[in-house]
Amino acid sequence: MMERDLEPFDVDAYYNIPLLVGKGGFTGTFGSNIGRTKPRKKKLKLYKALKIGYTRDLNRQQKMLKKYGYVIDKDLTNPREQVVAYNPFDKKLLFIENGTDPKSQKDLYTDLLLGQGGIKQSARYIDSKNALTKAVDKYKDVKPDNINVVGHSLGGNITNYIAPSGSNAYTYNAAFTPGQKTRSNVENFVTKGDIFSTFYTKPNTTVLPNTHEKEKLGVKDYLTKTHEVENIKDLPVYF
C-alpha cells in the first residue's frame, strides 16, 4: 500500500483546483497551496470578509480567501469594488461589496448620487448588480441559502439592494438614506453614534455599543473610528 493511501483524502491528487477562474479557464493551482489534505473547514467571519475586500488587491484577496476554501472569479471581480468567490467544496458563493474608495472618482460620484437618492443610477451600483447576477447564474450548483453577500458603508447600501431573495446578506454601518428599509434577508449591524448609518431602520438591525465614546478623540477621529470595520472584530457572525 502506498504511503499516500494512509493519509487523509488528497484533494490535490484528485482535483486540480484553480487559484483563479476566468473566461479562458483556470490559472494557477489551488491544490498545490493547500497541501495533501482537505481545505480547513474554517468558517469565515463577517469582519474578516470585509477586511479581505478592503485590501483592494486581487492576489492578496485570493491568498486570504483560500484559507476558507474559496477561489476568486477574476472575470466577475473588481478588487477595488467587489469580490466574487466560489467555494467548490461546500458549494458556496461569496460576494464582498467594498465601501467608498476615497481615491476613486467613480465612488465619490456614487456617494453624491447616494445622498440624492439616486444610487441605482450610478455605475458602481449597476456594475455590482450585474456582477452578482452573473455569478448566481454561473454557479448554478449553489443554493440560495449558500449565497452570502456582505458590505460596509456604501457597500452596505448596495448590498441591501442587490442581495438575491433567499440569500444571506450582512451589512455593517450601511449608508442608508431616509426611507430605505432593511430587507428581510439582510442582517444589518450599526455602531451607536455612526453618522453615516443614521437612517437605518430597526427591523433586522442590531445597534452595537460604541467603545470610543469614553476616549478623548477629536471629532474627525471619533467619526472615523466609529465607522471603521475594526469595531466588529469580535462580532460572532460567521458563514
Mean predicted lDDT score pLDDT of the chain: 87
pLDDT band at 40 (very low <50, low <70, confident <90, very high): low
59 pLDDT above the threshold of 50: yes
Q: How confident is the model at residue 19 (pLDDT cuts 50, 70, 90)?
A: low
53 and 96 housed in the same domain: yes
Model pLDDT for residues 192-230, shown as the tens digit of each residue: 999 999 999 888 999 999 999 989 999 999 999 999 999
Query: Is residue 16 located within the same domain as residue 113?
Result: no
Number of domains present in the structure of the chain: 2
CATH code at 150?
A: 3.40.50
How far is the C-alpha of 97 from the C-alpha of 172, rounded, in Å? 11
| Structure confidence at residue 154 (pLDDT) | 98
Residues 53 and 101 in one domain: yes
Give the largest Cα separation in the chain, rounded.
69
pLDDT tens, residue by residue, 76-95: 999 999 999 999 999 999 99
What is the per-residue pLDDT for 179?
Answer: 85
Q: Are 15 and 104 contained in the same domain?
A: no
User: What is the rounded average pLDDT of the residues 121-127?
Assistant: 98
**Does position 239 have pLDDT exceeding 60, yes or no?**
yes
- One domain for residues 60 and 156: yes
Q: Average pLDDT for residues 26-31, to the nearest whole number?
A: 48
pLDDT of residue 20: 60
Containing structural domain, residue 130: 44-232
Q: What is the dihedral of CA 112, 115, 121, 126, to 10 degrees?
A: 80
- The x, y and z cell numbers of residue 4, run together, are 499516500
Q: Residue 6's Cα: distance from chain center in Å?
A: 38
Predicted confidence at residue 100, as pLDDT, reads: 98
- Tell whether the model's pLDDT for residue 4 goes beyond 60: no
What pLDDT was estimated at residue 29? Answer: 47
